Amino acid sequence: MTKRGVGSKAKAKHRKVSAVRTPKPAGVGAARLRPIKNARRHEVGGVKIEAVAAANGQVKRVVYPPGFRWSTHMKPVVGTELCMHGHVGFLSSGRVRGQYGDGCVFDFTAPQVVVLEPGHDAWVVGREPAVLIQFDAAAQTAQRFGLPSEHQH
């Protein structure tokens, strides 16, 4: 009987340890992002962008707030029906869903590599900001990464 009692206590202690939640490390989540050293910072349509020159392009951290939708927040600023910029990068937090002009849909959930062809609408899903680390070559992004000039089948 003694062995059973000891075994039960050991299991109970193990259950207590595994039930403890590990806190997020400092700096996790878009609300606690530290500024990128030497980055150019600006905001467009509620989207916060930090960009640093790298080789013949730039690396950007783009923070899309909860509730952001390209067709609602950027279309009036840019003046096109859909986002005509190609995106290549890494979604480090959040979730993004979208649709191309031809009806094809996409859904990215962090952590995930993101490749989007020009000609899309996209929006943040949920209450967490979507943080995209993007490799960018301005108007040349699609061409440099071998993407078509617009999504098509």
Q: What is the DSSP string of 99-127?
A: EETTS-EEEEESSEEEEE-SSEEEEE-SS
Q: Is the peptide bond before 111 cis (omega within 30 degrees of 0)?
A: yes
Listed residue (101, 105, 104, 96) closest to 134, CA to CA? 96
Could you please state the CATH topology (level 3) that the domain comprising 24-144 is classified under: Jelly Rolls (2.60.120)
Q: Tell me: the pLDDT tens digits for 6-40? A: 444 444 444 444 444 433 433 445 557 899 999 99
- Give residue 50's pLDDT: 98
pLDDT tens digits along 70-100? 999 999 999 999 999 999 999 999 999 999 9
pLDDT at position 96 is 98
Q: How confident is the model at residue 139 (pLDDT cuts 50, 70, 90)?
A: confident
pLDDT tens digits along 53-72: 999 999 999 999 999 999 99
- Per the document, the length of the chain is 153
